[in-house]
Every structure is written in C-alpha cells, then in structure tokens.
Amino acid sequence: MFHRSERLFLRPAWPEDWQAVFAGIADEGVVKNLARAPWPYEPDHARAFVSREHDPYYPTFLMVLPDANRAQPIGCIGIHDRDGETELGYWLARPWWGRGLATEAARAVCDIASAIGHKRLIASHFVDNPASGRVLRKAGFRPTGIVRPHVSLGRGGDAPAVELVREAEQDEDGAPQMRAA
C-alpha cells in the first residue's frame, strides 16, 4: 500500500531500506520513546524490520520525503494489533523533528485506517515525551485520562504512558471518518 500526503510519500519497507532505517532509528533519543525497539538498536534489527511480512489490514509505512536527489526514509508509521485494539505508532529521525511531518503522517495513516475499516485507534506516549502527545492531539487523538505503565524495550522496562483514542464516525454518505473521541 502506498499513500501520498502533502509533503510525504508513505510506502512499505523493502529489504534494501535497512541502512536508512538503521541510520534514522539507531539514536537512543528516538528508541527510548518507542515500545518495541530495543536499545542498543543493531543493524540486524533493521534488517529484520524491513524483511517483515506486510499485513494489508495493519499496514506499516516508511515516511519518505520525495526529493529528486535523495528520497530516503526519515521515519516509520503504522498501525498494529495491541491486545485486540488497533494502535498507531511512529518514529521520526531526529533531524526531522519539529517540522510537522509526524503529524502529517499520523493524519494520513488515520485516514487509511478508517478506509480499511478500523473504527477506533489508540495511541500512547510516554509522560516524559510531551512532543509526541502534541503530534497525536494535532492528528485528532484525545487523551482518555488514563496514565499507565507501558513497555519500552529501549528503556529496558515499563514507563508511565498517557493513553489517547480516536474514533471513526460516518459521514452523510455512510463512509467512516475518523474523529476525536
């Protein structure tokens, strides 16, 4: 599955992307804010990530800035099953922080999730990462009021995380549209 937003091209990871993925994520400041990436992040982790089987119901995308000179991945975003709920997760390489790219990608993936039938998305951010909370709120997620421990392989254990939700509603034509809960 592929998607074009205003500034980004979202596409699946391919085996030849492992070096770009590694270059973007092998940063403790990035990994400590993720649930499933270990620290230290090794080249074999990147190779395994880009070699994973693609699930069309739970797509994962590399965020690519289309540039005629260098169209390299700058991050990753996708949805996955977490205990029977659909969770949005993402990471963005440090040089690209603060430019609105994560928000743009999150909005695009929420639209994709709605189009393939996901009615409710959850997300979370660690309490000490309020920037991720701002990204999620700008993408239409709303805090649930729940803060609970969430696993972080990069931190080596659980850390308190704020939980957020975004739910779909139907427009006049009956098509689901994502809205803040």
Summarize pLDDT for 126-162 with one digit per residue, the tens.
999 999 999 999 999 999 999 999 999 999 999 999 9
> DSSP letters along 20-73, please?
HHHHHH--HHHHTT-SS--SS--HHHHHHHHTSPP-TTS-EEEEE---SS---E
Query: What digits encode the pLDDT tens for the residues 63-96?
Result: 999 875 667 899 999 999 999 999 999 999 999 9
Under 8 Å between Cβ of 125 and 88: no
Domains of the chain: 3-180 (3.40.630.30)
Question: What's the pLDDT score for residue 175?
Answer: 53
Are the CB atoms for 149 and 160 separated by under 8 Å?
yes
Q: What are the tens digits of pLDDT across the range 92-125?
A: 999 999 999 999 999 999 999 999 999 999 999 9
Higher-scoring residue by pLDDT: 175, 8: 8
